[in-house]
Amino acid sequence: MQRLNPAGDIAAGKININSVDAAGIEAELRQVDPLNIKAQYFPSEHPYRQVGDQIIALRNGPNKGFLQDMAPVQALTLEVKDLPNFDGNKVKTVILDRFYAGKIDLNLAGRSEIEEALGRIDPLGVGAGSETYTKAAQAISDYRKNSSGVITDISLIQTQDVSAELLEKMKANFTEGNFAVISADVVGAVVGQDLRNRAIYVTLAALAGMLVYIAFRFEWIYGVAAVLAVFHDILITLGIFALFQWEISLTVIAALLTLVGYSMNDTIVIFDRIRENVRLRRRDSLAQIANDSINQTLSRTVITAGLTFISVVAIVLFGGEVLRGFALALTIGIIIGTYSSIAVASPMMLWWEYVTGRNKGRGRPGEARARAAERTLAKV
């Protein structure tokens, strides 16, 4: 960042005063709000906008469109309307803290920004709005696009529309940074709310579809138990994210949808074994059958969940910031999902079977254990 600032001051995290307009200065002041007037109404322009207009007028007027340092801003006497107790020193402190004066980075400025800066500084003396600057800005933008998005040397830009004289005079006010912003995406409140609602609808639709399938493939109570168990997994995962105040991004939502399918698969494996054992062991109690079925599938559940858990933990540790939310959601979800498949879904199904009395025709748990012991002794 020091290459962008001729004074040598560290400008990391600050905004170049030569690359911003009055609205940009107003936005920064509103964000910090040094005068605590964000919620007040003013009949004329907002005081922060008036401050921005005065700083831009200082830059574009006596300083010929470019500030070499922040000294002129520090010496500027700020005056605003409709605010009798205006404290200019507080505002200046924020300005000096959030902005710096340096060369304009051609790798960060857009075509219109480069054109506006050339017209404002007018290095060739042809006047603002000249077609020369319009063509030069377009040529610089095209050159950057064809150079993988980064200009490495300002001297290499020379084309038919960017003369050697213009490039030489631009070096006093422009520079080429070490990186460029290829794209920037901002999700506003309205769009964010729409994405949240869509994610809820998609999750509910997936759960409803699974409920119908399991009810058709097994029995409806199996489907209800499986869906409630998956809903339990998602709620706990979201609760942990809320507890630690982690961001719930689109990748986290994708992980939650993945978790729905993953946890449901574990539950169906156990239910399938229960259904198979119910047909083979008609005299045993349903509780004994469910317990045995869980034990029979436990090794498969532990191995599958364990291998997946190792993979997502590796993503958490080495996958970088972009994938961290996705991996964290899956890490939590795998642990909770494995637990719910064993200790939530099956007990819920058993509870309903006993409440409705559908299990009365089967043996009691004590009888089942006695018969199991007899079979074991017979084998011996």
Domain holding 299: CATH number? 1.20.1640.10
Q: Is residue 183 part of a domain?
A: no
Are residues 275 and 356 both part of a single domain?
yes
Are residues 197 and 310 both part of a single domain?
yes
Res 231: pLDDT: 86
Res 370: pLDDT: 47
Contacts of 111 (CB under 8 A, 6+ apart): 137, 138, 140, 141
Q: Three-state SS for 174? A: strand
Q: Is residue 24 part of a domain?
A: yes
> What distance in Å separates the CA atoms of residue 46 and residue 80, rounded to the nearest whole number?
9
> What distance in Å separates the CA atoms of residue 338 and residue 342, rounded to the nearest whole number?
7
Identify the domain containing residue 56 by its residue range: 2-175
Are residues 206 and 167 both part of a single domain?
no
Res 11: pLDDT: 55
Q: Of 144, 175, 206, which marks where a domain is finished?
A: 175
As given in the structure block, the two tokens for residue 350 are: 């058993």
Q: Is residue 184 part of a domain?
A: no
What is the value of pTM for the model shown? 0.50
Query: At 146, which amino acid appears?
Result: N
Are residues 255 and 169 both part of a single domain?
no
Q: Which residues of the chain have pLDDT under 50?
A: 1-10, 365-366, 368, 370, 372-380
Are residues 227 and 165 both part of a single domain?
no
> What distance in Å separates the CA atoms of residue 136 and residue 114, rounded to the nearest whole number?
9
Q: Is residue 238 part of a domain?
A: yes
Q: Is residue 302 part of a domain?
A: yes
Res 313: pLDDT: 92
Are residues 127 and 60 both part of a single domain?
yes
Q: Of 114, 149, 175, which marks where a domain is finished?
A: 175
Res 363: pLDDT: 53
Are residues 145 and 7 both part of a single domain?
yes
Q: Is residue 181 part of a domain?
A: no
Are residues 307 and 370 both part of a single domain?
yes
Scan for tokens 């605010």, then name that residue: 83
Are residues 70 and 128 both part of a single domain?
yes
Are residues 358 and 216 both part of a single domain?
yes
Domain count, the chain: 2
- Please give the backbone phi and psi of residue 100, each rounded to the nearest 5 degrees, phi first: -140, 160
Are residues 167 and 211 both part of a single domain?
no
Res 34: pLDDT: 92
The answer to whether 366 and 287 are in contact (CB under 8 A) is no
Res 206: pLDDT: 79
Are residues 122 and 232 both part of a single domain?
no
Res 211: pLDDT: 80
> What distance in Å separates the CA atoms of residue 252 and residue 155, rounded to the nearest whole number?
45
Res 108: pLDDT: 81
Q: Of 141, 175, 209, which marks where a domain is finished?
A: 175
Res 227: pLDDT: 85
- Please give the backbone phi and psi of residue 245, each rounded to the nearest 5 degrees, phi first: 55, 45
| Burial environment of residue 45 by CB neighbours within 10 A (0 to 12, 13 to 18, 19 or more) | middle
CA atoms within 13 A on the CB side of 12: 2
